[in-house]
Amino acid sequence: MYKIIEKTVVAHQINKFVIQASDISKKVLPGQFVILRLNEKGERIPITVAEKNIAEGTITLFIQEVGKTTKKIGELQSGDYILDVVGPLGIASDIEKFGTVICIAGGVGTAVIYPIAKALKEKGNEVITILGARSKDLIILEKEMNEISDKMYIATDDGSYGVKGFVSDILKKLISESGDASVANIIYAIGPIPMMKVVSGITKQYNIKTIVSLNPIMVDGTGMCGACRVTIGGVTKFTCVDGPDFDGHLVDWDELICRLSTFKCKEKEAIDHHCKLTK
């Protein structure tokens, strides 16, 4: 059993959990994730570790309520327990001295990119951050990202904060101002699948190396279920054991989007059933 030390609502349906997990905090690296399970018959939920505190033996997770299980997790409070927290899993992100790095995050993807951006900054890179969300109240970790960024830009779909539009609009502007691919040595893009697809399409035109994180499709986390199969450069990979980071220019995005929609009807049924029980 893993105790929730702190639970904070940081945005609409986005919760921050600080969990006692000393063994994981000692080993987890940027880009790696854990698998949560609420009970013996519970669904396995993969969540990237946003922060760790080795001295206190804790890890920090940001969990968005999008399905039945994540909604049930959102009902937990400080002092409650989670049955299983397994990890760290996945291959850690590649952290090197690249030069100039652009970190692009959409929605709760900011929690995934934060430890990566922080580690890249500690390596001596210039970090340019672009954050995006549907509206101002869905922007998370703004202060923390600003502290580790040399430049930071924000875009919201409704124009309630920063630039009205998408993160891809800001990226296009930065590329246009630089005149070529010299805008960055590498780009990390993490967030909704459509956003990562668009960003990868833009950067491919300029041959700017782009790394994406494909956590959204993971289920089992160990490579046993096969649900997270993706095609990377014509080769089948498992997101959980071969990733979650991949070259965005090599991802078969159409196949990935199709696979993600496979269980949408069943997911909606589960959410509707849960909502009826909690009314």
Q: Give pairs for 193-198: CB < 8 Å, separation 24+.
A: 193/253, 193/256, 193/257, 193/260, 194/257, 195/104, 195/106, 195/109, 195/132, 195/166, 195/167, 195/168, 196/106, 196/248, 196/253, 197/251, 197/253, 197/257, 198/166, 198/168
Q: Is the pLDDT of residue 216 over 80?
A: no
Give the C-alpha separation, 245 to 93, whole Å.
7
pLDDT confidence bin for 85, thresholds 50/70/90: very high
Nearest to 206 by CA among 177, 175, 181, 170: 181
> DSSP letters of 257-274?
HHHHTTTHHHHHHHHHHH
Q: Which structural domain, as residue segments, surrounds residue 57?
A: 2-89
pLDDT digits (tens, 9 = 90+) for 92-140: 999 999 999 999 999 999 999 999 999 999 999 999 999 999 999 999 9
Claim to verify: residue 85 and residue 104 sit in the same structural domain: no
pLDDT recorded at residue 181: 73
Grade residue 278 by pLDDT with cuts at 50, 70 and 90: low
Question: Out of 9-18, 41-50, 107-116, 154-163, which region has the weakest mean confidence (pLDDT)?
Answer: 41-50
192 plus 112 within the same structural domain: yes
Q: With a cut of 90, say whether residue 222 has pLDDT above it.
A: no
Same domain, 134 and 47: no
Q: Which amino acid is at 273?
A: H
Residue that is last in its domain, among 73, 89, 105: 89
User: For the chain, how many structural domains are there in total?
Assistant: 3
Give the domain CATH number at 113.
3.40.50.80
Domain identity same for 188 and 269: no
Q: What pLDDT was estimated at residue 73?
A: 92
Average confidence score pLDDT of the chain: 91
Kindly state whether residues 85 and 98 are assigned to the same domain: no
In a shared domain, residues 116 and 48: no
Its pTM stands at 0.90
Helix axes of 193-206 and 167-178: crossing angle, nearest 10 degrees: 10
Q: Are 2 and 20 in contact (CB under 8 A)?
A: yes
Same domain, 70 and 108: no
Q: Same domain for 6 and 81?
A: yes
> Considering 205, 229, 260, which residue would you say is the last residue of a domain?
205
Q: Rounding to the nearest 10 degrees, give the CA dihedral for residues 18, 21, 25, 27.
A: -150
CA distance 270 to 279: 15
- Considering 89, 120, 144, which residue would you say is the last residue of a domain? 89
Write down the pLDDT at residue 226.
74
Find the mean pLDDT for residues 225-231: 83
Specify whether 80 is located in the same domain as 171.
no
Give the CATH number for residue 43: 2.40.30.10
Q: Which residue has the tokens 């969540």?
A: 47
Same domain membership, residue 194 and residue 111: yes
Task: Give the DSSP per-residue string, 104-143.
Answer: EEETTHHHHHHHHHHHHHHTT-EEEEEEEESSGGG--SHH
The whole-number pLDDT of residue 270 equals 55
